[in-house]
Structure 1
Amino acid sequence: MTPGELRANGEGKGEDEIHERWLRLLNRSTGDRGYRDEWFDEQCGGCRFWIALSGELGLDWGVCIRAGSPFDGQVRFEHDGCERFVARADGTFG
């Protein structure tokens, strides 16, 4: 991928490459043997402090804005999670 190919609106190349690279940074992967059942309902995509990115990447990725979270200001996968989770009041996800 060369500079300028990817656009915030998803009109560009490289989304798959970015997605795969960022997946290596997960805190909690639902596929890990140590994944706890109670974490399933505490995924980033259901947290009131998670804001989805725009475009194609926004289908799976957003930014954490939770003060005190180790991920504050970082891009997170919607199925990741942390101990600072707060459910959305309306119960929506993603």
Structure 2
Amino acid sequence: MPGGAWTGDDREHDDACHERWLQVQHRPTRQPGYRDEWYDAQCGGCRFWIALSGELGRDWGVCTQAGSAFDGRVRFEHDGCGLFTAREDGSFG
């Protein structure tokens, strides 16, 4: 491959991905019906969420919860689902 493997370190590309992916959030915190109990059950704190590498990994990761409708999909760290499982160490992101 000319120039080596794609690293994802392209600010314009990353910003475009971020904006495009935000449009498919399941539980955007800005939605009128966002419940208070969802605040502590966001993807970034789930044991089944794995952050992407590079700049996109600051906000985005992949769901690996086999029972979730989002298994294998890129998820925003502040999104969530009904199968949230807190990390034992309480970390986020």
**What CA RMSD, in Å, does the superposition of the two structures yield over aligned residues?**
1.6
Residue number in structure 2 paired with 1:23 = 22
SS at match of 1:18: helix
SS at match of 1:22: helix
Matched, 1:57 2:60: no
Gaps of 5+ in 1: none
Using the aligned pairs only, state the percent identity.
67
Aligned residue identity for 1:88: R
Distance in 1 between the 2:80 and 2:9 partners? 28
Provide, for residues 37-92 of structure 1, a one-character-per-residue CA deviation record: whole Å limited to 9, x for no partner.
00000000000000000000000000000011000000000000000000000000
Gaps of 5+ in 2: none
Q: Give the alignment of 1:1-94 within 5 angstroms.
A: 7-8=6-7, 10-12=8-10, 13-94=12-93
SS at match of 2:50: strand
| TM-score, normalization by structure 2 | 0.91
SS at match of 2:75: strand
| TM-score, normalization by structure 1 | 0.90
Aligned residue identity for 1:17: A
Give 1:11 shift.
1.9
SS at match of 2:44: helix
Query: Deviating runs (4+, > 4 A) in structure 1?
Result: none
Distance in 1 between the 2:26 and 2:9 partners? 29
